[in-house]
Structure 1
Amino acid sequence: MIPTESGSGTERVDTGAGVARITWLPARSARLVLAAGHGAGGGIEARDLQALAAVLPARGVSVALVEQPWRVAGKKVAPAPRTLDTGWQGVWPALRAPGLPVVAGGRSAGARVACRTAAGLGAHAVLALSFPLHPPGRPERSRADELLGTRVPTLVVQGGRDPFGRPAEFPPGEHRLVEVPHGDHGFAVPKKAPLTQDQALDVLTGAVADWLDGLP
């Protein structure tokens, strides 16, 4: 069941990888849906996903936080990328049910899923949070092809000290890249940083909201 404008709600969806769960944060007079998947090491409680869910509905964007089947089932380890893609593809009809353009998004492993599947699913755009360009310390194992192959407008938001890929390491391409200064892979900033944690998240949410506002 898709919630009305009056409040959020959850929806369980059968996919080829098991049962996924969508938490809806609807906007009044919504013009877009941002679907956001989590990473391999956590769920939708991640600070960046929660920050977006708190801000975007007031900007006319409904947020759908997607929990992959392995997470819903209580498992501790994420499955192979192909299985993650299957789970994401399985929730897509529910994400499109409101009849609005859907921006495919996610953090870390969820960003990779969004990039890999965007063209095939007809995503309106892609939001990649903390895109894991390579494993820490292994820049030769680049995943740039996934990011460069979305074929739709793409925004990357990356922490300035992310060990999975600092902003300067990203290759040129059609995507837009925004840096969250001093942020790590979870956008946490050190206590001695010249900006607070709240300010770092404001950089993230402001960049995402402005980019979404500019989409056709």
Structure 2
Amino acid sequence: MRLRPPHLRGRVRRLGADPAYVPHEKDKATSARNATGVVSAYLRSSKVTISANVIIGSKGPDLEVGSDYKKHWPEEQLVLLPSDCEFSGNRFIRPAGGTSVELATPDPKIPATISQQTPNRYRENILWGGKPAPAPAEAGCKAMPMPANWSEAKELSGFHPLTRAEVGPSWGNAHRLAGKFEVENGLSCSRQPEGGSKKKKSKAK
């Protein structure tokens, strides 16, 4: 999973919002990306909770926080790191080892008034086979060797496809069970009725 300014990419994607920041537009060089030299505002990943996930055998880091920090600087001002987010109870499994958690380091030259953030929280995450997490995530990410008897098949045996009763808010499930509304899916949301659309008769000119 990749949590970056402005969003999370990978096995999980999450976009938070902090509309208060408007990038500084003065003296921005023009580029092919932005012929006017103006940098657009963007949403910030904020108050996001990533919890109770199991990720196995990622090619890259299992969790990247701020992966696009200062990308294309200074033409694009991606300097808002994820803020006030919580990462808890996740288990990152790396049989081949490698980096499990990667965090962007804030640039001290960027004014605090621009990049001000509330610290993120890391609690009770387990890293099997991966390298220890860097500060400030280290205390909340316990690095451990791979269990000798672990296998992917055994890991996945405890999972099952989620049922409708396991998904959605409790009030929504209660309404559905009471027959008060129909659960929409890809088919029920289709513009065309079941059986396809009827062809219009051509009129003689």
- For the superposition of Structure 1 and Structure 2, which TM-score range results when normalised by the shorter chain? under 0.3
Compute the TM-score of the two structures, normalised by the length of structure 1: 0.25
- Using the size of structure 2 for normalisation, the TM-score is 0.26
| Bigger fraction of residues in strand | 1
Q: Which has the higher helix share?
A: 1
Structure showing greater radius of gyration is 2
